[in-house]
Amino acid sequence: MSSTTPAAKVSTSGDGTGLESTGIHGTTVVVDPVVAKIAGMAAREVPGVHALGGGAARVVGAVRDAIGQSDLSQGVRVEVGEHQVAADVTIVVAYPEQLHVVAENVRQAVGNAIVELIGMEVAEVNVTVSDVHIPGDDEEPEGLRLA
């Protein structure tokens, strides 16, 4: 789906909105992948978020990162209506962070980013904690390293 918003320009009127009608009519379309990318970037900035996505998504993401093709929307699914956005975000929380606090901070960060950067209402932001990252889990034992 996509979003349509009226055309607008930056205002110097000082009214605090930053927008002023131009009198020119048309639509602005914001497609789902753009909203998902913005939501993913906002979620990654939250302290305590180690990664986005479930196990398989993170494996694919690691391969993409290795070849320089990062997917900023990994772990994020959005549904964009005419005026509202619903987002599902899957995260891995760093141990020993409080899961419910990190999830709430992700919810707030994603919601704020959608409202501020896209200008749409947020119907809901669902957060799934798929794993907890324990420091040292990513390190390979010396005997298993490939030359």
The reported pLDDT for the residue numbered 28 is 87
* Residue at 141 is within a domain: no
Distance CA 2, CA 96 (A): 38
- How buried is 98 (Cβ within 10 angstroms: 0-12 exposed, 13-18 middle, 19+ buried)? exposed
* Residue at 11 is within a domain: no
> Has residue 124 got a pLDDT over 90?
yes
Residue whose token pair is 């409080």 = 98
Nearest to 54 by CA among 77, 74, 30, 28: 74
The reported pLDDT for the residue numbered 76 is 97
Give the β-pairing of 27-31 and 2-6.
antiparallel
Domain that holds residue 118: 31-135
> Has residue 13 got a pLDDT over 70?
no
Report the pLDDT averaged over residues 69-83: 90
**Sequence-ordered list of residues with C-beta below 8 angstroms from that of 102, at least 6 positions apart, any chain:** 46, 47, 48, 49, 91, 93, 129
Q: Which residues pair with 128 in a beta bridge?
A: 90
Q: How confident is the model at residue 147 (pLDDT cuts 50, 70, 90)?
A: very low
Distance CA 107, CA 140 (A): 33
* Residue at 145 is within a domain: no
The reported pLDDT for the residue numbered 12 is 38
> Has residue 83 got a pLDDT over 80?
yes
The reported pLDDT for the residue numbered 10 is 33
Mean pLDDT (the chain) is 82
- Say which CATH number the domain at 108 has: 3.30.70.1350
Distance CA 52, CA 128 (A): 10
pLDDT tens, position by position, 27-71: 888 999 999 999 999 999 999 999 999 876 656 666 666 677 678
* Residue at 82 is within a domain: yes
* Residue at 10 is within a domain: no
Query: Which is more confidently placed, 19 or 13?
Result: 19
Query: Which is more confidently placed, 119 or 18?
Result: 119
* Residue at 2 is within a domain: no
Give me the number of domains the chain comprises: 1
The reported pLDDT for the residue numbered 146 is 47
* Residue at 15 is within a domain: no
User: Full-prediction pTM beyond 0.85?
Assistant: no
- Which tokens belong to 120? 């749409």
Tell me if the bond preceding 96 is cis, omega within 30° of 0: yes
Residue 110 parent element (H or E): helix 99-113
* Residue at 49 is within a domain: yes
